């Protein structure tokens, strides 16, 4: 099963494709970031995220999408914009008829490290370990997306309802 993990953001949306193998291990397929130039209008940036997300679906054909849920941030203006980015990604997923799972940052940290307040570096070390990598994936947004994909793969047997 191919799982696409997504860490939504306006300037950079991290993505990571993993394969859940029959022996329940994980293999890295690809990771990176969808970027949008800051000089574009907000609506153009949203459309760019939408188009690039659809392109990812067409090139890798994921069986499932795992996306990080929003958490309440101190900067509500940023939270609203990231929420809109999530919206275009969810729309693209829906139009491709790919099942979507959502995970909070707390759920991701708990599932990978056993501790809900784990640091970013602790989560990244676990991503490296799960995927058998020599180095932590960079940038952080891509590593976070891979973490969400792994958690989705771990929870497939107790799957939550899809959006």
The residues assigned a catalytic role are 7, 68, 141
Compute how many other C-beta atoms are within 10 angstroms of the C-beta atom of residue 8. 28
Distance CA(111)–CA(55), nearest Å, equals 29
| Cross-sheet strand order for the sheet of 26-35 | 26-35, 12-20, 2-7, 64-68, 99-103
Distance CA(65)–CA(4), nearest Å, equals 5
Residue 106 in tokens: 């707390």
List all residues 6 or more positions away from 69 whose beta carbon is below 8 Å from its beta carbon.
Answer: 102, 103, 104, 105
* Location of structure tokens 């708990």: 110
């Amino acid at each position: 099963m191919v799982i696409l993990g997504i860490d939504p953001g306006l300037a950079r949306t991290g993505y990571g494709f993993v394969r859940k193998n029959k022996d329940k291990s994980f293999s890295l397929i690809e990771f990176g970031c969808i970027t949008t130039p800051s000089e574009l209008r907000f609506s153009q940036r949203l459309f760019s995220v939408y188009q690039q997300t659809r392109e990812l679906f067409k090139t890798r054909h994921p069986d499932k999408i795992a996306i990080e849920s929003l958490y309440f941030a101190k900067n509500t203006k940023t939270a609203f914009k990231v929420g809109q980015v999530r919206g275009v990604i969810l729309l693209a997923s829906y139009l491709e008829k790919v099942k979507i799972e959502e995970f909070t940052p707390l759920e991701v940290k708990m599932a990978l490290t056993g501790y809900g307040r784990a640091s970013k570096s602790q989560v990244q070390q676990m991503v490296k370990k799960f995927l058998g990598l020599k180095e932590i994936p960079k940038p952080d947004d891509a590593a976070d997306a891979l973490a969400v994909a792994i958690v989705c793969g771990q929870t497939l047997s107790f799957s939550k309802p899809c959006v």
